[in-house]
């Protein structure tokens, strides 16, 4: 096989006290970060890496294992190792809930997908009545029952987000909000049509490692964390109208906030 270009991955430093397999992982990571291997591109084979660096196959495998653990690459049996796709979606927190989007019949997710040039999709949709958790109940003013709306969001066919909205049952029952597809603009547009003026959105964000169920639902690679966001929506009277509990693949989003300078 022809040798790899000398400037593609560089060489190892024999004087370094950093383990050889970690140096190889560093060289591959740098090549990915600098765009030498684009998203979806196949990395050099194990044999090519063995020959290029003059190391054992096990050393190469240990290096690739590091990159898999960081969520940078994924392996396809019989095909090779590929750079994972990371949709460049900016979550525009200061704009995504603007009323003008609802008036145009667009949900917040559709607004973000449109800005990113991606195709939005919702699947695994479930709507049911249930008892709220203590936290959700406190945020919504202690209703005995809530309407829960669970859905998974996809961008260009890839799962990126799973969200559950909780609304007081007395507010949502027998309205379009209780239907699987509430109509243009989503549930916030329906709330306003029902006479509830949205006053503010409060979001709490933290990062953590995913549960096994979240790994399956979002098809996460090993080592990829999630962003856990809880949003509470209030009306002009300070009543909690909705609590949205959202888990997002951390490699799919950039959270963008605009804060006042004073």
Tens-digit pLDDT string for the chain (262 aa): 678 887 889 889 999 999 999 999 999 998 888 889 988 899 999 999 999 999 999 999 999 998 988 778 888 888 999 998 765 555 555 566 666 766 666 667 777 777 777 788 898 899 999 999 999 999 999 999 999 999 999 988 889 899 999 999 999 999 999 999 998 888 999 999 999 999 988 989 888 888 888 989 998 877 788 999 999 999 999 999 999 999 998 877 776 666 566 5
- For the entire predicted model, the pTM comes to 0.69
Rounded CA separation 126/85 (Å): 28
């Amino acid at each position: 096989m022809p040798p790899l270009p000398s400037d593609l991955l560089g060489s190892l430093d024999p004087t370094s006290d950093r383990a050889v397999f970690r140096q190889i992982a560093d060289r591959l990571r740098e090549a990915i970060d600098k765009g030498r291997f684009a998203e979806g591109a196949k990395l050099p084979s194990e044999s090519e890496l063995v020959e290029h660096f003059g190391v054992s196959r096990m050393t190469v495998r240990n290096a690739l294992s590091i990159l898999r653990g960081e969520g940078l690459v994924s392996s396809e049996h019989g095909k090779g190792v590929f750079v994972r796709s990371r949709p460049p979606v900016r979550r525009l927190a200061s704009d995504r809930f603007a009323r003008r989007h609802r008036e145009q019949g667009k949900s917040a997710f559709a607004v973000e997908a449109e800005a990113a040039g991606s195709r939005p999709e919702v699947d695994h949709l479930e709507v049911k009545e249930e008892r709220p958790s203590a936290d959700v109940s406190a945020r919504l003013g202690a209703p005995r029952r809530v309407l829960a709306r669970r859905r998974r969001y996809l961008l260009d066919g890839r799962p990126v987000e799973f969200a559950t909205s909780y609304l007081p049952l007395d507010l949502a029952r027998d309205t379009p909000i209780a239907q699987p597809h509430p109509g243009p603009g989503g549930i916030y547009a329906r709330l306003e049509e029902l006479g509830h003026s949205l006053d503010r959105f409060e979001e709490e964000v933290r990062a953590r490692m995913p549960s096994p169920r979240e790994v399956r639902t979002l098809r996460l690679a090993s080592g990829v964390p999630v962003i856990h966001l809880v949003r509470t929506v209030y009306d002009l009277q300070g009543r909690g109208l909705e609590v949205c509990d959202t888990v997002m693949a951390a490699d799919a989003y950039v959270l963008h906030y605009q804060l006042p300078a004073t």
